[in-house]
Amino acid sequence: MFGAQVKLFRLAGFDVNLDLSWVFIALLISWTLATGYFPELYPGFESTTYWSMGVIGAAGLFLSIVLHELSHSVVARRYGIPISGITLFIFGGVAQMEREPPTARAEFMMAIAGPLASLGLSLFFYVCAIGTAAAGTGTPVSGVLSYLALINLIVAIFNMVPAFPLDGGRVYRAWLWGRMGDMVAATRRAALAGQIFGLMLIGLGVASLFSGHLIGGLWWGLIGLFLHSASRNAITQLESQKLLESETVARVMTRSPLTVPVDITLRELVDNYIYGSFHETFPVVENGRPAGSIGVADLRGTNREDWDRLHVRDLMHPLSRLNTIRPGETTEAALRKMRESGHARLLVVENGKLAGIVALRDIMRLIALKRELG
């Protein structure tokens, strides 16, 4: 879902990350507020004042989204759902769950926390706007606070649309789940609502384009495309998790994989191993024990002239939780770790020994076979 990310800070035990796509939306919001929204509502100020209001308004929205997602994360932690972090991206923010909620109640409580937080923020900023206006602190201050009260109210209302994966869609899924007792079936119905809502937004975007509202039309269309795609992918991902959660890594791993000595040169690695097997990642061993991993991608930043001088140990990734897994863990856990780390192959390590290697294509093949066999 995300591209390059920057870790901003840690809040209440959660890492808050910024996807670089957020920079675009922050600039767009600041520009829209400074050149359109605030000048229209509060005429008569200088351009620098409007730009200050725009930047502060965008920063306030940033903080509001962080608090919205933080509320999801805190409730998720209460129900034992691991959250790998909070990420802000072009379409808002997301609390990244490492697994689905265990019960319909946990799903409902986690989902409703975000809109309630936004409603609380809307009320808080509204009271502050009234207070600052009465205190005579100036129109720019009360204007920004009024905007933040309004935008948080809009965020709360929009997120309560019963279209998965919006918060309202998760509330809808929780209700269906509790009534039907089947999470997958509930997800299918909630995701269908999400796809329909996405198509409606795309239609709204097209209508806006034809009526001359270029930016608004493009924006509604992009949000619609994102929701349609996210809701369609949600059911695929959930079905894959259900197929994999009962299968262990030991079942699909390749035993006795091709290994690379830690002390050979990169030239030897390329000539004797990469071209010899066409694998993209290799376990690195030292004195017969796993020491790390190295892949084709690790060579892309090096000069060919240095391949005779550099050794595998200079570029390898040491053993860590990101490139290793135990044979008794589930293939669903392996797939989740691959998504998190970007590694398409993981070293299977047990008691300090290399038991095998598990590849993304093997897990995908397992999913295809289980679907075919019902």
The DSSP annotation for 62-98 comes to HHHHHHHHHHHHHHHHHTT--EEEEEEETTEEEEEES
Question: How would residue 305 be classed by pLDDT, with cut points 50, 70 and 90?
Answer: confident
Residue 1 confidence (pLDDT) above 80: no
Question: How would residue 178 be classed by pLDDT, with cut points 50, 70 and 90?
Answer: very high
* pLDDT, mean of residues 294-313: 86
Question: How would residue 366 be classed by pLDDT, with cut points 50, 70 and 90?
Answer: confident
* pLDDT, mean of residues 140-148: 93
**Percent of the chain beyond pLDDT 90?**
27
- State the pLDDT at residue 4: 59
- State the pLDDT at residue 119: 96
CA angle 248, 245, 102 (to 5 degrees): 145
- Using N-to-C axis directions, what is the helix angle for 167-180 and 104-135, rounded to 10°? 150
User: 165 preceded by cis ω (within 30°)?
Assistant: yes
Q: Which of 260, 254, 257, 253 has the alpha carbon at shortest distance from 334?
A: 253
Residue 7 confidence (pLDDT) above 80: no
Confirm if 104 and 120 have CB atoms less than 8 A apart. Answer: no
Residue 221 confidence (pLDDT) above 90: no
- State the pLDDT at residue 67: 92
* pLDDT, mean of residues 241-258: 82
Structure tokens at 87: 């990420």
* pLDDT, mean of residues 237-261: 82
Write the DSSP assignment of 134-191 as a string of letters: HHT--HHHHHHHHHHHHHHHHHHHHHTSS-TTSHHHHHHHHHHHHHHS-HHHHHHHHH
Residue 374 confidence (pLDDT) above 70: no
Lowest mean pLDDT among 242-246, 279-283, 331-335, 350-354: 242-246
- State the pLDDT at residue 96: 77
Residue 21 confidence (pLDDT) above 80: no
- State the pLDDT at residue 216: 75
Residues of the chain by 3-state class (helix, strand, coil), percent to 5: 60, 15, 20
69 is catalytic: yes
Tell me the β-bridge partners of 347: 324, 357
Confirm if 311 and 264 have CB atoms less than 8 A apart. Answer: yes
Structure tokens at 37: 């929204």
- State the pLDDT at residue 152: 95
Instruction: Return d(Cα 282, Cα 165) in angstroms, integer.
Output: 37
* pLDDT, mean of residues 101-119: 92
The owner of tokens 């209700």 is: 175
Average pLDDT of the residues of the chain:
86
Question: How would residue 118 be classed by pLDDT, with cut points 50, 70 and 90?
Answer: very high
- State the pLDDT at residue 368: 80
Lowest mean pLDDT among 37-41, 106-110, 210-214, 340-344: 340-344
- State the pLDDT at residue 211: 86
- State the pLDDT at residue 130: 93
* pLDDT, mean of residues 159-171: 90
Catalytic annotation, pick one of 40, 46, 69, 340:
69
* pLDDT, mean of residues 278-282: 81
